[in-house]
Structure 1
Amino acid sequence: MRVKVIINPAAGKPEPILSVLNDAFAPAGIDWGVDITHKSGDGVAAARRAADEGYDLIGAYGGDGSVSEVVSGLAEGGPPILLLPGGTGNALAADLGIPPGLAEAAALAVGEAGEVRRVDVGRSGKQWFVLRLTTGFEADMVSAATQQMKDRFGWLAYAFSGLMAISDAPTATYRITVDGAEVECEGLAALVANSAMVGVSSLRIAADVDVSDGLLDVVVVQRADLPGLIGGAADAAQGQQSRIMSRWRGKEIHVETTPPQAVLADGEDAGMTPVDVTVVPGAVGVLVPKRAV
């Protein structure tokens, strides 16, 4: 088997990446190599190049942004992805039950330890996303979580930046169409989620959000007062839908806002609202721990 591992050297974990990977791959006779990313877009190009060169498996070492780039490069065809958690959030890996340790995650490529699970991907124009598309204060929160904050505080960087974003978040009017049905509401943020994980510890949007169900979950955050935030956090910790959110599900989504808001797709600039979003069911394969029979 031939494996190409795409590594983001700016990811948040200080560890001997090559040594750990060699200890996992070499005894199994795996022919492996690496590509190093240096700037935005390098992961997309490296994934496409590895697919064109006929690699059997493409590893993604880094955080959620690194994973998103590899997914984007393979969303229109390519081999399965080996997620190697190395960043701050590692939301998709957590959602799929992939071990957080590099050695344990790499071991999924060896023998019969792993199996391929098909995972949906969202699309908005030319932008792909595997976690979520965001507007409003959540987009501000992701943008505000600097690399320095992530290096110092880990996943708490998102919590800190979230509190800063909420403190002066303006209310917007959201007009949303989900598979032809229209709704309108006031809120602080809207997101179109493929994954349940919010990137903060093990908190989930809701227990029934599934990356393989062929649907996207549309969420509007409507409250940010202290009682609502405390109650909403308690709901999320129990895997329940937060009481400060309204939610709809569908395959084709249109979002308009007054005033217009910035849009991020897995943390990357995706323009301004209005925005149209669709789901591509089972677009990529991801190696996950084999389920017990």
Structure 2
Amino acid sequence: MGRASGVGGRRFDEGDRVLVLNPESGGGRDTDDVRALAAGRGFAVREAEGAAVVDAARAAAEDGASLVVACGGDGTASGVVNGIAAADAFDEVAFAVVPGGTGNNFAGNVGIEGVEHAFEVIEAGEERRIDLGRATFTDADGTADERLFLNSCVAGLTADASERTSADLKRRYGPFAYVATTLGAVPTYESLPLKVEGPGDGDPWRGDALCVFIGNARGFPRGGSVRLTQANVEDGLLEVALVSDASALELAGEELLRRLFRGETANIELRSLPSVTVTTEGEPIRFSLDGEMVGAERLDVGALPRTLRVRVGERYVPDPSG
């Protein structure tokens, strides 16, 4: 069997490099180019969307792939990572991403500038170990489920916000697009009664909250910006932002976001924590996990330090604050 070059002098058997392609991401505009580039580099291409992305990535890892690439948006990338996790293969399988979705936030965080550049990084880019976020959500009956995430988990959003949020708004503002959509549709939005606590927190925060942002690769906007920033994704910590007391807001869309993050309408508390627990003191929590809407009575989130082996581009900065 022929062999192909890999990162850092490592060589791959043809066929042990798998690309999981979501043909629906980004309207499918780049799928033909991706298939051609993948075929020219010895990738086996497996098409999947929705929950099938996790199954496809798990099967690839269990079949002996040493590199599994996600082609799609942030949801596809997250699905592939969860598939590698389901195969218990983080030490054996490296990960890479080809931006094919609407927002492609994670790809931008790790220095990927486009489809062709992504394949260049796969061949010659540096491999880093980065953190993952692990979210465990528990229903009222005690049933618990666990999922990993790359970018962020945002608690405090309505159930249908994901469906009602435009692709353009999601591309520009990430998970906060759901906040704008929710509040724009409900002129007298009622904040959520939540309890938020970190490890060993003897005095947890209790009160009404608009949302709780928990970032892994994405950081909370600062300085009046409404765009998320890159977080340090190798420090073993989560960026936690609590946006409190957002009742009776009557603004919508971008203007709401601009005023919100300038501190004109809400109190924002920022922390860096290895883990955080969010508990509802009212209705079940709705949250966006890398763009997927989920509901729970309790949310436990922790960082998994330097768990994922990922190929990064030249513009990737491990510590953006430095």
Which has the higher Rg, Structure 1 or Structure 2?
2
Q: Identify the match of residue 289 of structure 2 among 265, 268, 286.
A: 265
SS of match in other structure, 1:249:
strand
Question: 2:6 maps to which residue?
Answer: none
Identity %, equivalent residues: 27
Equivalent residues in 2 for 1:1-293 (5 A)?
Answer: 1=12, 2-20=16-34, 22-23=36-37, 26=40, 30-38=41-49, 40-75=50-85, 76-78=88-90, 79-99=93-113, 101-110=114-123, 112=124, 114-125=125-136, 126-137=146-157, 141-145=161-165, 149-150=166-167, 155=171, 162-167=179-184, 168=186, 169-181=189-201, 182-196=204-218, 204-205=227-228, 209-222=231-244, 229-233=257-261, 244-260=267-283, 261-290=285-314
Count of residues in Structure 1 that have an aligned counterpart in Structure 2:
272
Deviations 1:196-240 (A, max 9, x none): 2679xx954456x322211112222236556874245569xxxxx
Read off the aligned partner of 2:70 and give its amino acid letter. A
Question: 1:55, CA displacement in angstroms?
Answer: 1.8
Q: 1 CA distance for matches of 2:296 and 2:38?
A: 44
TM-superposed deviation, 1:281: 1.1
Q: How far apart in 1 are the matches of 2:271 and 2:18?
A: 38
Cα shift at 1:282: 1.5
**Counterparts of 1:85 and 1:284, CA distance in 2:** 18
Q: Which amino acid aligns with 2:258?
A: I
Unpaired runs of at least 5, structure 2: 1-11, 137-145, 317-322
Backbone CA RMSD of aligned residues? 3.2
The alpha carbon displacement at 1:243 in A equals: 7.5
Q: Distance in 2 between matches of 1:279 and 1:154?
A: 25
DSSP-derived class of the 2:148 partner: strand
Question: Which string of whole-angstrom CA distances, capped at 9 and with x for unpartnered residues, describes residues 88-142 of structure 1?
Answer: 111111122211x2111111122x3x01121211222322211222221377543
**Can you list the C-alpha shifts for 1:240-264, whole angstroms capped at 9, x where unaligned?**
xx98521222122111123232233
What's the CA shift for 1:289? 1.4
TM-score with structure 2 setting the length: 0.73
The 8 Å contact of residues 178 and 248 in structure 1, kept in 2 or not, is answered as no
Distance 1:138 1:281 in 2: 30
Cα distance, 1:253–1:183 mapped onto 2, change above 3 Å: same
TM-score (norm 1): 0.79
Greater Cα offset, 264-273 or 212-221: 264-273
